[in-house]
Amino acid sequence: MADDLSGVADLALAQSTGFVVRQDALSQESRERLAGLQAAGHVRAYRQGREDVVLPTIPAAFMVELADAAATILEHRASGDAMKAGEWLGRRLEGVYLGDLIGAQAIRTLAETTGGFSAGIIQGLFSIKPHEELVEDRLIACATPEGETIYLKIEGGKAWMSDRFGNVRGEPVEMGPERSQMMGNVTGWMILGQLAHFPTARVGDDTDRIDATILFQIGQCPFPLLRANQLGLGHLEHDLGPHGRVLCKDQGAIEATTQAMAGMLMRPWDGAEHFVATVLEEKSLPLLHRLMIALRTVRDLGDEERAVWAEELLQDSIVPEIKNLLDVVSKTSEEDMTPRGMD
């Protein structure tokens, strides 16, 4: 957590898919314990690029320790400025393997050890807005399943194989009209999506549900908040033009945000009707789409009463509103922009 050089240069790819720690960043106490940990098989030391690194061999145990360490630092920072502490957490865990789970557990650990946490931490995470941009005019690194790193130089709609310094070789490949996108600043909101799995309310007012507020806000993200997987597998989406992209409701993956929404609506909660009504009033297609998938989950997995309630909402309110908004999108596309259709 204290390594300022973590997540950069040669280690960025490795640290996005595993808990890779630079040996140069180890404290004196850690260095003294390293040999014993290696002998016990708890860590493995090796060379990664130009760095000597350590890899924990029991990731689940290391996650717990990392979350505890993050909670300790978060508590200290929040005592001065809770919003800045939340922003620190989101930015520090950006690009860290399973950073969303670690961040959410850190907040929960803070709440369990101190009796609560400041809403400023949530605001700090909210302030890190996710964004997408075209993969254009840059040098990118890709990891193959065999562990090899491949470098691509992208410029002017073309891609070349290159070395790590950007020196190209061979003939370029035309990237075509369907350009790749890259996401940034997603971990902060993904932490919130994981945190929203736990019913959370403001102290003194159990009706002021923080988890509902979180899901309403991050549910409007115009693209899926999903972690990249080690195999580089994609996920099925629908393109809504200017309204963003949403996961396929039948064959797509499910986000932590949508899972949390389903869990919230599956449990008895007096504010459920108000939450659904507020979502309908917002007229956000990404939010409505996530709510639709959440209600389908409640319909399929909830008890009989909740299942009937969810099905009625889907048929009477949610699906008709989505169709209405999609018709508006379609008409706008025909009049003002090149049609993009559905993937």
Q: What is the pLDDT along the chain (343 residues), one digit of tens a residue?
A: 878 766 565 677 788 888 989 888 888 888 889 989 999 999 999 888 778 899 999 989 999 999 999 999 999 999 999 999 999 999 999 988 999 999 999 999 999 999 989 999 999 999 999 998 777 788 887 777 666 778 888 888 888 889 888 898 988 888 776 667 778 899 999 999 999 999 988 877 778 899 999 999 999 999 999 876 666 667 788 888 888 899 988 887 889 999 999 999 999 899 999 999 999 999 999 999 999 999 999 999 999 999 999 999 999 999 999 999 988 766 665 554 443 333 3
Query: What global pTM score does this model have?
Result: 0.87
> Tell me, what's the pLDDT at 151?
86
Tokens of 190: 């993904």
The owner of tokens 């939010």 is 287
> What is the spatial distance between Cα 262 and Cα 306, in angstroms, rounded to a whole number?
11
pLDDT at res. 263: 96
Instruction: Give the pLDDT confidence of 273-315 residue by residue, as tens digits.
Output: 999 999 999 999 999 999 999 999 999 999 999 999 999 999 9
Contact 119, 107 (CB under 8 A): no
Q: What is the pLDDT of residue 7?
A: 58
Q: What is the pLDDT of residue 135?
A: 74
pLDDT at 55: 92
Residue type, 212: A
Q: How far apart are CA 290 and CA 279, in angstroms?
A: 10
Domain boundaries, the chain: 1-57, 136-174, 200-343
Give residue 318's pLDDT: 97
- Please tell me whether residue 83 adopts helix, strand or coil conformation: helix
Give the pLDDT of residue 179.
64
Residue with the two structure tokens 């008895």: 268
Cβ neighbours around 337 below 10 Å, total:
10
CA-to-CA separations, 43 to 2, 13, 39, 98, 272, in angstroms, rounded: 19, 19, 8, 18, 47
For residue 343, give the DSSP letter. -
Both structure tokens of 19: 């808990």
Residue 178 class from Cβ within 10 Å (0-12 exposed, 13-18 middle, 19+ buried)?
exposed
Helix axis angle, 304-313 relative to 285-301, nearest 10°? 150
* 56/21 Cα distance (integer angstroms): 9
Q: What pLDDT was estimated at residue 288?
A: 97
DSSP output for 110-152: HHHHHS---HHHHHHHHTS--EEEE--SEEEEEE-TTS-EEEE
Q: Which are the contacts of 323, defined by CB distance < 8 A and separation ≥ 6?
A: none
For residue 342, the model assigns a pLDDT of 36
